[in-house]
Amino acid sequence: MPISPSPKTLDPQANIARFPIERVSDAELVQAAARGDSRAIGVIWDRHAAAVRRVLRGALGPDSAIEDLLQEVFIALLRGVSRIEQGCALRAYLTGVAVRQVALELRRRKVRRWVTLTPTGQLPELPTRARDSEGREALRALHRVLEKLGTRERLAFALRHIEGMEILEVARALGASESTVRRARATARNKIERSVKHEPALESYLSKGTEAQP
């Protein structure tokens, strides 16, 4: 794991030290991490880093900033773990932090565009290997359209249709009401549908990937 917190003496009474990793609940991990148990942070990373990475990638696409933002999410966890009131909601907490990191990154990119550090405000894309060229082009087309949306619309659509989260989960992650998220998602979808004439690769995605999701 890339993050290496300062070693701490394990509490001999902590569940994290006494039971196999797969039997330790998120709530127990949060309690242990709040006590300074560095092993608990490692287990949290192993259990949740992939899901957080998917959230970041869903919002930003294949982007060179993903791994740095992933680190920032877990640094924020280290700083704020003692304030998590419900350890069983750890994944939702991490998703919320990831969403805030995406919003900050999008704002930074707007600033970079204003001061002309780069034409788009984006860092170079990392090379990716798609399973098929059609799917790869549809994904690229989708993210080209998402880049033109407002931050809330972009995140609402990405979390709902790319990450597959339920509307209530998306609302919690965005800190917004369910009705606000539904409007943002609908606005995003309408804009994406209007973009099909300019991005024909999206037509198949829209017909297969989002019709059944409210």
Residue 194: is its pLDDT beyond 90?
A: no
- 2 part of a folded domain: no
pLDDT of residue 133: 63
pTM: 0.63
Return the CATH number at 74. 1.10.1740
Q: Which of 6-15, 109-118, 189-198 is the least confident region?
A: 6-15
Give the residue-averaged pLDDT of 141-170.
84
pLDDT-based confidence at residue 181 (cuts at 50, 70, 90): very high
pLDDT of residue 205: 59
What does the alpha-carbon distance between residue 49 and residue 53 come to, in Å, rounded to a whole number?
6
Return the CATH number at 158. 1.10.10.10
The alpha carbon of residue 127 and the mean position of all alpha carbons in its chain are separated, in whole angstroms, by 20
Terminal C-alpha separation, the chain: 37
Residues 133 and 213 in one domain: yes
Residues 111 and 176 in one domain: no
Give the residue-averaged pLDDT of 147-171.
86
- 181 neighbors 150 (Cβ within 8 angstroms): no
CA distances from 86 to 22, 29, 60, 91, 92 (A): 19, 11, 29, 11, 10
Q: What is the mean pLDDT of the chain?
A: 76
Q: Range of 196's domain?
A: 129-214
Domain-terminating residue out of 96, 127, 158 = 127
What does the alpha-carbon distance between residue 34 and residue 63 come to, in Å, rounded to a whole number?
32
Residues 123 and 135 in one domain: no
Residues 81 and 154 in one domain: no
Domain-terminating residue out of 76, 96, 127 = 127
Residue 52: is its pLDDT beyond 60?
A: yes
Residues 42 and 56 in one domain: yes
Sign of CA dihedral 95, 188, 105, 136: positive
Question: For 85, which DSSP code?
Answer: S
What does the alpha-carbon distance between residue 105 and residue 40 come to, in Å, rounded to a whole number?
28
- 5 part of a folded domain: no
pLDDT-based confidence at residue 4 (cuts at 50, 70, 90): very low
Residues 123 and 178 in one domain: no
pLDDT-based confidence at residue 202 (cuts at 50, 70, 90): low
What does the alpha-carbon distance between residue 2 and residue 88 come to, in Å, rounded to a whole number?
24
